[in-house]
Structure 1
Amino acid sequence: MLDRRAMIKLVGALPLLATTSASAQGAAAGPYPVSDHFDGERFHNPDNAPAKGLRDLLRWQWSGERTEWPEGYPSPFPLDRPPSRVDAGLRVVLVGHSSFLIQGGGLNILVDPVWSERASPLAFAGPRRRNVPGIAFDDLPAIDVVLVSHNHYDHLDRATLLRVFERDAPLFVTPLGNDRVIRGRERGMRIVTADWGDGVELGQGASVRLEPARHWSTRGPGSRNRALWCAFTLRLAGRTVYYAGDTGFGDGAQFRQAAANAEAIDLALLPIGAYAPRWFMQDQHINPAEAVLAFEILGAKHALGCHWGTFQLTDEAVDAPARELAAALQARGIAPERFVAARPGQVWTHA
């Protein structure tokens, strides 16, 4: 029988499980057209890689290979106090995990914002922050747009989204089906949902295109793959930013497609953490070596590594993604300043 600590750990890992049981079918996803990634009821990756089940989850959780993180892993960068607007050039700040503030062309855009203490449906269990957000919420400028890539708790934090909505009433852009979670009972939100390949105009000459990602979705029992997941290609201030969201590598087709759709990518925001053990994670999360390959396929000028060092979701050590990224860059002959393992509060600018 599991002890209390093991049970809490297991509960915290449940968001990483794509159950295949019949009881998890739930209601129809919505009136979306059938495609290579939607069968009329559920979304799926075009290659239909088999999902992991409860037996796989238990095998992983009982393996004893988890490297425990320290209680705190503070960023070496001070809390950022961003300007109210950036008209010329581009300014990007990692808030933590996969949350970014992107400023340019007079717009302020949040990507997958999470200010909550835990990335979990539970207040007492699940992955908790090991560092404070790189921007204090009250220091955020007025937000115009929020991009939400998928509905896992470390990317769609409804408490944060409601705080942003109540303060700034921004436009929310998200893949098909996620509007139900974001909106909840709040009917005043402006939410645009879109499919892979769709473009959304954001105003002031800015736009975002939803790109394929190799992942999955759930918010709890009955919701598996009832909402879509995506990457984003953002165009603003004459610059292009690619945000991968969460994705496995597969054959790299999603990165080739994004590169083909963009004239040039100035900055790629790529996940480098939550990859161990590979037998469990490889279909849904890239590792640092794969992130470097994605960087090369995208043809990006620069990259920031994210999805590491804030919430412990998997087995690798807290600093392993940064160390492995450095080794992968060296192996590929890429200058380390072109692809940085970002820390909360770290600022990247492009004139």
Structure 2
Amino acid sequence: MKRRSFLKFTAFAALFGIGASGTAMAVARNSNRYHSGPVSDHFDGTRFFNPDGSAPKGFSDLLKWKFGGTQAKWPTSVKSPFAPARPEPRVEGDRLRITMVGHATMLIQTAGLNILTDPVWSDRASPVAFAGPKRVTAPGIAFEDLPEIDMVLLSHNHYDHLDLVTLARLRLSHNPLVITPLGNDTIIKAHVPTMRVMTGDWGDAIKSGPATVHFEPCHHWSARGVNDRSMALWAAFVLETPGGKILHIGDTGYDKGRPYQNARDRHGRFRAAILPVGAYEPRWFMKDQHQSPDEAIDGFLLSGADYALGHHWGTFQLTDEGREAPEELLYEKLAEKGVAKERFRPLHVGEAWDFPDVA
């Protein structure tokens, strides 16, 4: 294997938390470096898991995928059809605006709050700066143009979602409150000791100003390296605001629709749903951790949300589908299912959506 290919493969293995060493995994089973707590229906005392769900794929599966699959070729650089946004300082009252920064990073503005989701401004979604998935489109908001950030919703610890370099920059320039599932505080505090972090388990809620953040289950997993798999929790969020409820389902497999049905049963109507639509091929490898655009539509309908925003596409090539494939497939399936495309929009980098007023 050429050196460049080896480095790329190693970065992907770390990104997906897959190692070849059974010994390392066996040692890791005996201790959790991130979280200590009682056994529950999704924590065995060492690792978190998806109840009645599927475990993440192993090293042999990764080898089969990376050396036996067919990956579409992405362009190295893509200019968004939208110019970089320069957000208002605040969006007050019941108004709701969401601006796409890229991948899973969005700026939510409502009720006078500025909230970032899974902020990543680094060039690579990788444990190293010289290899791994590289950004093909510049961030839709320049870091210097961010309004004052009050809160960060951090769904889990994969490198395309938890970027310690960006969090350190946010701490210095904004000092936001980071709200994240169990165990991720340890990772953040080790790198940014003064960061304000609050954690929660599935079913917990944290109130901050006019908003309440609810932690809900989704079907995923976590890892920062090859021996810490599922030692920190992953979650969906329900953001309850004066202008309505927002479902941010996080990274998730469709899981027979259970994450969506649970959220609807617990919280009722959603003004908006924020749903991933990319990083889904090949299905045999990705199905349990990343829903497809078709499944995202089913989840949207199951949630009962008024509108849905598609993200997790077009910025970092993590999987095999082409860059534009998620958008194209989403629109195709919306038409097949009779859902107006105005209700489910896959946002482009730099694009802002002002959601219709609450009825």
Tell me the TM-score normalized by structure 1: 0.96
Find the counterpart in structure 2 of residue 122 from structure 1: 128
> What are the equivalent positions in structure 2 for 1:1-351 lying under 5 Å apart?
2-14=1-13, 15-18=15-18, 21-24=22-25, 25-26=27-28, 27-28=31-32, 29-88=34-93, 89-203=95-209, 205-350=210-355, 351=357
Which SS does the other structure have where 1:251 is aligned? Answer: helix
CA, structure 1 residues 331+185, in 2 after alignment: closer, same or farther (shift >3 Å)? closer
CA separation in 2, counterparts of 1:17 and 1:158?
A: 17
Mapped contact 2:164–2:191 kept (Cα < 8 A): no
Mapped contact 1:214–1:283 kept (Cα < 8 A): yes
CA separation in 2, counterparts of 1:293 and 1:140?
A: 33
Q: Which runs of 5+ in 1 are unaligned?
A: none
How far off is 1:63 after superposition? 1.5
Q: 1:132-190 CA deviation, whole Å, 9 max, x = no partner?
A: 00000000011111110000000000111111111111111000000011111433222
How far off is 1:50 after superposition? 3.2
How far off is 1:334 after superposition? 0.2
Mapped contact 2:53–2:219 kept (Cα < 8 A): no
How far off is 1:8 after superposition? 3.0
How far off is 1:242 after superposition? 1.0
How far off is 1:262 after superposition? 1.8
Percentage identity across aligned positions? 48
Mapped contact 1:92–1:347 kept (Cα < 8 A): yes
Which SS does the other structure have where 1:103 is aligned? Answer: strand
CA, structure 1 residues 298+22, in 2 after alignment: closer, same or farther (shift >3 Å)? farther
CA, structure 1 residues 185+56, in 2 after alignment: closer, same or farther (shift >3 Å)? closer
Which SS does the other structure have where 1:184 is aligned? Answer: helix
Amino acid at match of 1:120: S
How far off is 1:317 after superposition? 0.5
Mapped contact 1:17–1:52 kept (Cα < 8 A): no
- The structure 1 segments of at least 4 consecutive aligned residues displaced by more than 4 Å after TM superposition are 17-20
CA separation in 2, counterparts of 1:84 and 1:21?
A: 51
What is the Cα-based RMSD across aligned positions, in Å?
Answer: 1.4
CA separation in 2, counterparts of 1:122 and 1:18?
A: 16
Which SS does the other structure have where 2:68 is aligned? Answer: coil
Which SS does the other structure have where 2:264 is aligned? Answer: helix
CA separation in 2, counterparts of 1:12 and 1:330?
A: 38
- Would you say how many aligned residue pairs link Structure 1 and Structure 2? 349
Mapped contact 1:90–1:237 kept (Cα < 8 A): no
How far off is 1:64 after superposition? 4.0
